[in-house]
Amino acid sequence: MESLLQTRACFVFFSLVLTLYLFIFFLLLHLRRKKVLCNCEICYAYLSSSWSKDFNNLCDWYTHLLQKSPSQTIRIHVLDNTITANPENVQHILKSRFENYPKGKPFSMIVGDLLGKGIFNVDGELWHFQRKVASSELASFSIRTYAFEIVTNEIKSRLLPFLSSIAVKDSSNVVDLQEVFRRFSFDNICKFSFGLDPCYLESSLPISVFANSFDLASKLSAERAMVALPLVWKIKRLLNVGTEKKLKQAIKTLNILAMEVIMRKRKLGFSTQKDLLSRFMTCINDDNHLRDIVISFILAGRDTMASALTTFFLLVAHHPQVMLKIRDESEKFIPPNQDLASYNQIREMHYLHAAVYESMRLYPPVQFDSKFALNDDVLADGMFVKKGTRVTYHPYAMGRMEKIWGQNCMEFRPERWLNCGTFCPQCPYKYPVFQAGSRVCLGKELALVEMKMVALSVLRKFDFELVSPGAAPQFDPGLTAMLRGGLQVGFKNR
The reply on whether position 443 binds ligand HEM by CB under 6 A is: yes
Quick one: 148 exposed, middle or buried, by C-beta within 10 A (0-12, 13-18, 19+)? middle
The reply on whether position 300 binds ligand HEM by CB under 6 A is: yes
Count, residues near ligand HEM per rule CB under 6 A:
22
The reply on whether position 482 binds ligand HEM by CB under 6 A is: no
Q: Among 101, 120, 351, 357, which residue interacts with ligand HEM (rule: CB under 6 A)?
A: 120
Spatial separation of the C-alpha atoms in residues 70 and 48, rounded to whole Å: 25
Q: Which stretch binds ligand HEM (CB under 6 A): 51-59, 236-244, 293-301, 311-319?
A: 293-301
Q: Rounded to the nearest whole angstrom, what is the least distance from the CB of residue 81 to ligand HEM in the complex?
A: 15
Q: Among 447, 456, 459, 489, which residue interacts with ligand HEM (rule: CB under 6 A)?
A: 447
Q: What share of the chain is helix, strand, coil (3-state, %, to 5)?
A: 60, 10, 30
Q: Rounded to the nearest whole angstrom, what is the least distance from the CB of residue 431 to ligand HEM in the complex?
A: 11
Residue nearest to ligand HEM (CB): 443
The reply on whether position 110 binds ligand HEM by CB under 6 A is: no
Question: Nearest 5°: CA angle at 386, between 382 and 387?
Answer: 130
Q: Among 134, 160, 217, 401, which residue interacts with ligand HEM (rule: CB under 6 A)?
A: 134
The reply on whether position 299 binds ligand HEM by CB under 6 A is: no
Q: Which stretch binds ligand HEM (CB under 6 A): 13-21, 68-76, 198-206, 428-436?
A: 428-436
The reply on whether position 446 binds ligand HEM by CB under 6 A is: yes
The reply on whether position 396 binds ligand HEM by CB under 6 A is: no
Q: What does each C-alpha distance from 398 to 76, 136, 242, 321, 355 come to in angstroms?
A: 18, 31, 36, 25, 18
The reply on whether position 228 binds ligand HEM by CB under 6 A is: no
Residues 111, 221: contact at Cβ < 8 Å?
yes
The reply on whether position 442 binds ligand HEM by CB under 6 A is: yes
Q: Which stretch binds ligand HEM (CB under 6 A): 41-49, 165-173, 338-346, 431-439?
A: 431-439
The reply on whether position 131 binds ligand HEM by CB under 6 A is: yes
The reply on whether position 59 binds ligand HEM by CB under 6 A is: no
Task: Name the residue nearer to ligand HEM (CB basis): 46 or 181.
Answer: 181
Task: Name the residue nearer to ligand HEM (CB basis): 368 or 405.
Answer: 368
Amino acid at 433: V
The contact pattern for ligand HEM, residues 304-323, with x = CB under 6 A and - = no contact, is xx--x---------------
Task: Name the residue nearer to ligand HEM (CB basis): 34 or 158.
Answer: 158
Sort strands 81-84 and 390-393 into parallel, antiparallel or unpaired.
Answer: parallel
Q: Rounded to the nearest whole angstrom, what is the least distance from the CB of residue 274 to ligand HEM in the complex?
A: 14
Q: What does each C-alpha distance from 70 to 375, 381, 391, 407 come to in angstroms?
A: 25, 10, 18, 16
Spatial separation of the C-alpha atoms in residues 46 and 79, rounded to whole Å: 9
The reply on whether position 102 binds ligand HEM by CB under 6 A is: no
The reply on whether position 455 binds ligand HEM by CB under 6 A is: no
- Look up residue 400 and give its DSSP letter: T
Classify the C-alpha dihedral 80-86-87-89 as positive or negative.
negative
Using CB under 6 A as the binding rule, the residues of this chain from 355 to 374 that contact ligand HEM are: 365-366, 369
Spatial separation of the C-alpha atoms in residues 211 and 232, rounded to whole Å: 27
Neighbouring C-alpha atoms within 13 Å toward the C-beta of 493: 10
Spatial separation of the C-alpha atoms in residues 287 and 444, rounded to whole Å: 27
Instruction: State the alpha helices, DSSP H only, in 70-224.
Output: 87-91, 104-115, 124-139, 141-154, 160-167, 177-194, 209-224
**Closest of 439, 427, 393 to residue 89, by C-alpha:** 393
Q: Give the residues lining the site for ligand HEM (CB under 6 A).
A: 119-120, 131, 134, 297, 300-301, 304-305, 308, 365-366, 369, 433-435, 439, 441-443, 446-447
